[in-house]
Structure 1
Amino acid sequence: MNADRIVHEQPAKWIERLARFGYAAKGIVYMIVGVLAFQAAFNWGGRITGSKGAFRTIANQPFGNFLLFLVGVGLLGYVVWRFVEAFRDPEHRDSGLSGFARRASYFVSGLIYASLAIFALRIVFGSPSNSSGSGGSSSQQGVATLLSQPFGQWLVGFVGVAIVAYGFYTFYKAYSTKFRRKLKLAQMSLKEEQWSTRIARFGLTSKGLVSVIIGYFFIQAARASDPSQAQTTEGALQTLQQQPYGAWLMGLVALGLIAYGIHLEVQARYRRISPAR
């Protein structure tokens, strides 16, 4: 009986380690995007970019390909965890309509980060596609594909509404501090708990704002049946930069993205992860 127990526990522990590695890798990507955007806001040598631009930045550092390989593998670990959440419901969340929607969002998130992980690994292994295309252009190609389908404008509009809804849900998480329920707070000191909560609320608020702007772009692309209007993080940051006091506004949001990355690192260390059902 003990042997059977060990056999069943080992894969679960392996998934947990992959998940933690994945949260850490995802956090690194957000921190790099935030640092580059903050530098760009005040003309300190950075540039506005998204995840794929962050990958290229990593690749250009000393030992960059090795570091990017670790990030790519880490993101694959995050993908595994998202699919486990989608198909096995390890946290025993409700099984109603909201539960189905949550698990569907985990599956979609897994697909998105799988494509990012593959992109990162293509850069590492010198794929000819590593220097072509940006996050914006790839999303626009996807929107163009959706628009060519029956009811394509409705499909793109639905995606935009879903992204906006996710943004507002992120605001809610920041306001309610529900994210604390998934952390092993007992393992933190009081000061660590206080600062991790503050940083998470700031980061989630910035992440939510970027998501709302991206969703708005997708809705506009649906209304105009124009895929070029669909933008991702890079386009959202550029939009903020073009507003009154844009440098300060984008700089603040960039700091928020760095904070969100730190929040992901905290999750990598302290999140409750239960791979087995």
Structure 2
Amino acid sequence: MAGAGAISGLARAGFIARGVVYLVIGALALLVGLGYGRHDLDRAGALVAIAGEPFGVLLLWLLFIGFVGLALWRAVRAAGSAESGGHRLLDAVRAVIYAIGAWSIYQFLAHGRTPTTSDASAYDVSARLLRSDDGRALMVVLSLVAIVVGIAMVVHAVSKRFAERLRTGWMTYRTRDLVLRLGQAGHIARGVILAAAGFFALRAGLSDTPGEAKGLDATLRSFAQTSFGPLVLILVALGLIAFGLYSFAEARWRRTLGGVPR
């Protein structure tokens, strides 16, 4: 298609941007697991942490461009992909998510508005749903969907099905093995987090208590409160770091809309 090369280039820049965000969140979570963390473990905390580093503002502008690229790429796929309707709908949802992420970065850079924390967002959404007539039932359904999707992500990771999206034939054997291991660890961590967040949302819906719902920050911190102590949080944090590194590999070898990786 016309412009496929340019859109693919933007998508690859977006994968790098996504990788940076996951690396930062994973590093922050690892520090919390080791007893040294001070930032929120979500996108808001990542933006604040990046802004406080040398050349942080420049990096945030590059992240903004990357997320715009991902949003555009997903939108193009949703509009013109030959895949099934379910895949196109998922691409459309992801396009909106990445667009919101890009907008929050712009608001932070242009107006100094720190994005709402994930915990505050989870509480607000839960409170609104539980106040509506059919909101409680909808919240329970959405929570179950999140749990199922989280479990499916773990199964997807174990089976290495995500490798179908990569040009593995362009990798050496060692590189392919490393990328697949990073992808497995990263997708498992994301699946565990989503399933856990779904569980907390389900508990909030069943108990009619919005405060039971947890965003990314509180969900990650809850892993440190298990009988294994901070070990679970450390393992999940390492998984997020692995997904960040895997995102860099996607920027190099992901099948996008055209063009040959160089």
The Cα of 1:122 is off from its aligned counterpart by 1.1
Per the alignment, residue 139 of structure 2 pairs with 156
| Aligned partner of 1:189 among 149, 172, 182 | 172
**Aligned residue number for residue 4 of structure 1:** none
Q: Offset at 1:212?
A: 0.4
C-alpha contact (below 8 Å) 2:44/2:116 kept by paired residues: no
* Structure 1 pair 133–257 and aligned structure 2 pair: CA distance change class (3 A): same
Shift of 1:77: 1.2
User: 1:275 Cα deviation (Å)?
Assistant: 6.4
Partner residue, 1:258: 241
User: 113, 117, 125: which one pairs with 2:98?
Assistant: 113
Structure 2 residue 136 is matched with structure 1 residue 144: no
1:104 corresponds to which residue? 89
Q: Could you report, residue by residue, the CA deviation over 1:80-132 in whole angstroms, capped at 9, with x for unpaired residues? A: 1222232222xx33x3xxxx3333232222222222221111111134x32x7
Match status 1:77 vs 2:69: yes
Query: What amino acid is aligned across from residue 190 of structure 2 in structure 1?
Result: K
Residue deviations 1:192-227, cap 9 Å, x none? 001111111111111111110011122122222333
Between the aligned partners of 2:125 and 2:164, the Cα distance in structure 1 is 35
SS of the aligned residue for 2:193 comes to helix
Is the 8 Å Cα contact of residues 82 and 107 (structure 1) preserved in structure 2? yes
Secondary structure at the counterpart of residue 238 of structure 1: helix
| C-alpha distance in 2 between matches for 1:113 and 1:230 | 23
User: Which residue does 1:86 correspond to in 2?
Assistant: 78
Q: CA deviation at 1:48?
A: 5.0
SS of equivalent residue, structure 1 residue 61: coil
Map of 1:36 onto structure 2: 28
- Structure 2 CA distance for aligned equivalents of residues 147 and 65 of structure 1: 39
Which position in structure 1 is the counterpart of 2:206? 223
**In structure 1, what is the Cα distance between the partners aligned to 2:86 and 2:180?**
26
| DSSP-derived class of the 1:246 partner | coil
Q: What is the TM-score with the length of structure 2 in the denominator? A: 0.91
Query: Are the counterparts in 2 of residues 140 and 231 from structure 1 also a CA contact under 8 Å?
Result: yes
TM-superposed CA distance for 1:250, in Å, is 0.7
Q: Which runs of 5+ in 1 are unaligned?
A: 1-7
2:71 and 2:96 in contact (8 A); partners too: yes
Distance 1:110 1:150, change over 3 A: farther
Contact 1:84-1:275 at 8 Å conserved across structures: no
Cα 1:108/1:226, change in 2 over 3 Å: farther
Distance 1:111 1:251 in 2: 30
- Alignment-derived partner of residue 54 in structure 2: 62
Partner of 2:161: 178
Q: Does the Cα contact within 8 Å between 2:78 and 2:89 map onto a contact in 1?
A: yes
The answer on whether the counterparts of 1:140 and 1:228 sit within 8 Å (CA) in structure 2 is yes
Contact 2:68 2:99 in 1 (8 A): yes
Cα drift, residue 47 of structure 1: 4.3
The equivalent residue for 2:256 is: 273
Q: Deviations along 1:128-181, whole A, 9 cap, x unmatched?
A: x32x73121123223333334441112222221222122112112211111111
Per-residue CA deviation, residues 59-96 of structure 1 (Å, 9 max, x unaligned), is: 1111211111111221121111222232222xx33x3x
Give the 3 Å change call, closer, same or farther, for CA 24–235 of structure 1 in structure 2.
same
Give 1:5's aligned residue.
Answer: none
Contact 2:13 2:66 in 1 (8 A): yes
Aligned mates of 2:125, 2:100 — CA distance in 1:
12
| Worse-matched range after superposition: 184-193 or 113-122 | 113-122
Question: What secondary structure is seen at the aligned counterpart in 2 of 1:274?
Answer: coil
Residue of structure 1 equivalent to 2:221: 238
CA distance in 2, matches of 1:259, 1:202: 6
Q: Could you state the TM-score of these two structures normalised by the residue count of structure 1?
A: 0.87
2:142 and 2:110 map into 1 onto residues whose CA distance is 32
> Match for 1:198: what amino acid?
R
